[in-house]
Amino acid sequence: MSSASAPGLVPLRLCVLTVSDSRTPEQDSSGDYLVQALSDDGHVLHARALLPDDRYRLRALVSQWIADAQVDGILITGGTGFTGRDSTPEALLPLLDKQMPGFGELFRAISFAEIGTASLQSRAFAGLANGTFVFALPGSTSACRTAWESILRAQLDARTRPCNLATLRPRLNE
């Protein structure tokens, strides 16, 4: 949890990508939620996009964001299930320099309390690519809310103790 005596918030520059074959920008409630949540918590939206489930287009855009030194992290919603063309893990896991298995494990554990055994269908994951955090979440707004409120909000806040991802940021490429 946050500590009032800790140093202040360090705003991160974050990108939001929605992966969907069926949503339009006007119907992107998950992307809307993430943009509002990161802004409400003092972070900065660097870029936002909506792409279909096409692994090569996903890789191209995420690679561009990873290569941008101004981007601290990328939040991806959608394409992490088992159905149809869900291919976010296949598209993006090869881009990671380091995986963060604890994120997916923790997300599924928290989700189990909310949706029961359906949580085993989630292929949510996170990792690090070129010093940029990459978080891939399910496409539902409730899953994005769970990830943000239960994990990401605290870990992207430099005031969270005993440790957080935000304070690692300057050392990630050492």
Counted domains in the chain: 1
**pLDDT tens digits, one per residue of 148-157:** 999 999 999 9
The answer to whether 14 touches 74, Cβ cutoff 8 Å, is: yes
**pLDDT tens digits, one per residue of 26-35:** 999 999 999 9
Q: How far apart are the first and last CA of the chain?
A: 27
Domain interval for residue 63 = 13-69+76-169
Within-domain flag for 19:
yes
> Which residues are CB-neighbours of 10 under 8 A, at least 6 positions away?
158, 166, 167, 169
The CATH number given to whatever domain includes residue 48 is: 3.40.980.10
C-alpha closest to that of 22 among 48, 57, 50: 50
What mean pLDDT comes out for the span 140-164? 96
DSSP structure class, residue 8: P
Within-domain flag for 6:
no
Higher-pLDDT residue of 40 and 2 is 40
Within-domain flag for 22:
yes
Whether the per-residue pLDDT at 7 is higher than 90: the answer is: no
- Residue 4's pLDDT is 40
Within-domain flag for 41:
yes
Within-domain flag for 162:
yes
C-alpha closest to that of 87 among 60, 53, 123: 53
